[in-house]
Amino acid sequence: MSLLEVNDVYSGYGKVEVLFGISFKIEPGKSLGIVGPNGVGKSTLLKTIVGEIQPKSGAISLNGIEILGKGPEDIVRLGLCLVPEGRQIFGGLSVAENLQLGLTGRQDKSTSKKALDKVKEIFPVLTSHAKHQAGMLSGGQQQQLAIARALIADPKILLLDEPSLGLSPTVIKDVFDQLKSIISNGTSVIIVEQRAHLVTSFADETLIMRNGKIQARITPEDAKDELKLKHAYFGSDN
């Protein structure tokens, strides 16, 4: 039994169909990348997994429990957290309050303080800015806050939608280094990115999406072949 199993999912918005038969699995402590050009359905896939959108058909299970039909607030309690596109931190609240909100979805409340201390250890900048308004942090710091807030819920699997968006290369490297340490602690990570090169060398496996379908599955080894990567990303005509 895999940690997360997505099986033949068709999903979209009302009558507009976006995903056509998506299937993949991820094991504990592994990383998975999902890449593809703008508009291929990457964010729709994440929204479907976290319960923001109900799929038309298919099955999604987390640790063997069917999560289809459950709302985001129930799915986070089962151990699946999303760091949404654009971070979506609560800019008007303090950094400490944002972290506090992360505890809402945590099942084991008795170890809340330990969880807060642990994320502050991973992201030390959040301790020095604890009382600051979150909206005043830099883009990179906001991204760290968004990841830290999700980690506090003690997820078995962390989903990140375009974590590099709006960040400088140095900050992106820092964020991905922190993700490596999160994975090494046993949390699985799924990263959705438009910029394929960021993910293909990082993730254990990367799915390349086009037109709402998975076109190719590549390993870091495959990604070294730039031509193969280009063909998978843009299609063989390009």
Site string for other proteins, 32-51 (x = CB under 8 A): ------------------x-
135 binds other proteins (CB under 8 A): yes
Window contacting other proteins (CB under 8 A); options: 61-69, 95-103, 172-180, 190-198: 95-103
By C-alpha distance, which of 104, 10, 101, 8 is closest to 55? 10
Least Å from the CB of residue 185 to other proteins? 20
Region at 181 (left for phi over 0; alpha for psi -120 to 50; beta for the rest): alpha
17 binds other proteins (CB under 8 A): no
Q: What are phi and psi of 153, to 5 degrees?
A: -75, 0
The residue among 30 and 149 lying less far from other proteins, judged by its C-beta, is 149
The residue among 72 and 220 lying less far from other proteins, judged by its C-beta, is 72
Least Å from the CB of residue 77 to other proteins? 6
CA distance 7 to 61: 9
Structure tokens of 99?
């972290």
158 binds other proteins (CB under 8 A): no
88 binds other proteins (CB under 8 A): yes
Task: Give the binding-site size for other proteins (rule: CB under 8 A).
Answer: 34
CA distance 97 to 130: 8
- Residues 104-133 interacting with other proteins (rule: CB under 8 A): 104-106, 133
Question: How far is Cα of residue 157 from the mean position of the Cα atoms in its chain?
Answer: 8
Provide the 10 A C-beta neighbour count for residue 128: 10
Considering only 34, 40, 116, 137, the residue that binds other proteins (CB under 8 A) is 137
Considering only 76, 145, 158, 203, the residue that binds other proteins (CB under 8 A) is 76
For residue 134, what is the DSSP state?
G
Q: Could you tell me how many helices (H) and strands (E) the chain has, helices first?
A: 10, 10
Considering only 11, 31, 48, 142, the residue that binds other proteins (CB under 8 A) is 142
Burial class (CB in 10 A: 0-12, 13-18, 19+), 12: middle
Given CA atoms 169, 170, 172, 176 in this order, what sign does their dihedral have? positive
Residues of the shown chain interacting with other proteins in the complex, contacts defined by CB under 8 A: 50, 52, 71-73, 76-77, 81-82, 84, 86, 88, 90-93, 97, 100-102, 104-106, 133, 135-139, 142, 149-150, 153, 166
